[in-house]
Amino acid sequence: MKRVLALPGEEVFGTLRRDHLEGPGQGMSCGCANGCEPTRGPPDSYFVLGDNRENSLDSRYSGFVRREKIVGRVIAIYRSWDGDNHRPRLDRIGRRR
């Protein structure tokens, strides 16, 4: 499961939305885990991040994803974890997206 962070033609910065783009000790990048210069996405390609960003092989490592590689869309929340309180977010489970 990945979240789209940048659409085709949008620019991705190494420090954009730091709370979403970087895990502890991780630099964000455009195909490189150690940082990048501002990069504009190619046509028909998306910058994606995994929900479990500390252990996710996403665009920080593999670069932009071509549209034809995207195969689905989230329609409901199956699980939701509150990492700060170490418990499930029961009010979000089953909610439609």
Print the domain residue range for 58. Answer: 2-70
Query: What pLDDT band is residue 30 in, cutting at 50, 70 and 90?
Result: low
Q: How far is CA 21 from CA 31, 47, 64, 83, 91, in A?
A: 13, 11, 14, 17, 25
82 domain-assigned: no
Which of 4-8, 25-29, 40-44 comes out lowest in average pLDDT?
25-29
80 domain-assigned: no
What distance in Å separates the CA atoms of residue 21 and residue 69, rounded to the nearest whole number? 21
pLDDT at 59 over 80: yes
Percent of the chain predicted with pLDDT > 90: 11
What is the domain count for the chain? 1
pLDDT at 23 over 50: no
Q: What is the pLDDT of residues 61-79, one digit of tens each?
A: 888 999 999 888 878 777 7
42 domain-assigned: yes
Q: Are 28 and 35 in contact (CB under 8 A)?
A: yes
What distance in Å separates the CA atoms of residue 28 and residue 20, rounded to the nearest whole number? 10
77 domain-assigned: no
